[in-house]
Amino acid sequence: MESHNFFSAYFREMHAAVETGNCDQLVECVKFIRRCEAERGKVIVVGNGGSAAMASHVSVDFTKAAQLRSINFNEAGLITCFANDYGHENWVAKALEAYADPQDLVILISSSGQSMNLINGAKQCESMTIPLITLSGFKPDNPLRGLGNINLWVNSHSYNVVEMTHHIWLLSLIDFIIAEKE
């Protein structure tokens, strides 16, 4: 494939994925963020791999740019301790049990929507009645997609397209919160 054609097709695919963002769902996300802020809660953002890196970026932007308390669970000691003691599939649930409060908001990010540690984390949110936003992609019926109060889904089977779309949607929420405060 010619380079120019590849990039043109890739950017069209990315644009189409970002455009699948349901603006009504994003507005609902803002309402959950506002409630969290009003109740002096924190936003907890969690993912695996590239989504964990995104969680770090988004968490820092929530704190610094949007002036909302936010944390992520990317501390190696926390992950390895909890995974070792409770099993990899349960470490997120146990971390939420230890760190989440009822006034918080949790955002779980999984490209495939099939990561058991995040699925179990979502179930922990439900048991603790903590509001949850999920971001997933790939199959429309992936297990994570039905577990949140709001479930944002990308119609793509490409990891990079799904991850970048999640990133853009999350940053758009932060930019909206910042614009509201100006």
CATH number, residue 19: 3.40.50.10490
* pLDDT at residue 4, rounded to an integer: 82
* pLDDT at residue 182, rounded to an integer: 83
What do you get for the CA distance between the two ends of the chain, in Å?
46
* pLDDT at residue 20, rounded to an integer: 85
* pLDDT at residue 2, rounded to an integer: 82
Going residue by residue through the chain (182 aa), what tens digit of pLDDT does each one get?
688 899 999 999 999 999 988 899 999 999 999 999 999 999 999 999 999 999 999 999 999 999 999 999 999 999 999 999 999 999 999 999 999 999 999 999 999 999 999 999 999 999 999 999 999 999 999 999 999 999 999 999 999 999 999 999 999 999 999 999 88
167 SS3 class? helix
Separation in Å, CA 63 to CA 46, 97, 127: 15, 22, 26
* pLDDT at residue 1, rounded to an integer: 61
What's the total number of domains in the chain? 1
**What DSSP character marks residue 131?**
-
96 SS3 class? helix
Structural domain including 87 reads 3-181
- Torsion sign across C-alpha atoms 76, 81, 86, 88: positive
Which positions ≥6 away from 22 have C-beta within 8 Å? Answer: 152
Global confidence as pTM:
0.96
